[in-house]
Amino acid sequence: MLFTEGRGRKVVSTSSARQLGLVDGYVVDFSEQRVVALALSRTEGKARYLRWSDITAFGVDAVTVPADDVLLDSDPVLDDLHNKHHAILGKRVLTTHGVEVGTAQDVDLDPATGRLTALLTPADQIPGDRVLGAGSYAVVVRG
Mean pLDDT of 47-54: 96
pLDDT of residue 84: 83
> Domain range holding 104?
86-141
pLDDT of residue 14: 97
Q: What is the CATH number of the domain that holds 64?
A: 2.30.30.240
Given a cut of 90, whether residue 114 has pLDDT beyond it is yes
Separation between Cα atoms, residue 93 and residue 90, nearest integer Å: 9
Looking at the fold, whether 49 and 109 belong to one and the same domain comes out as no
Looking at the fold, whether 33 and 76 belong to one and the same domain comes out as yes
From 58, 62, 48, select the one nearest 17 (Cα to Cα). 62
Confidence band (pLDDT; 50, 70, 90) for 3? Answer: very high
On average, the pLDDT of the chain sits at: 96
Mean pLDDT of 75-102: 94
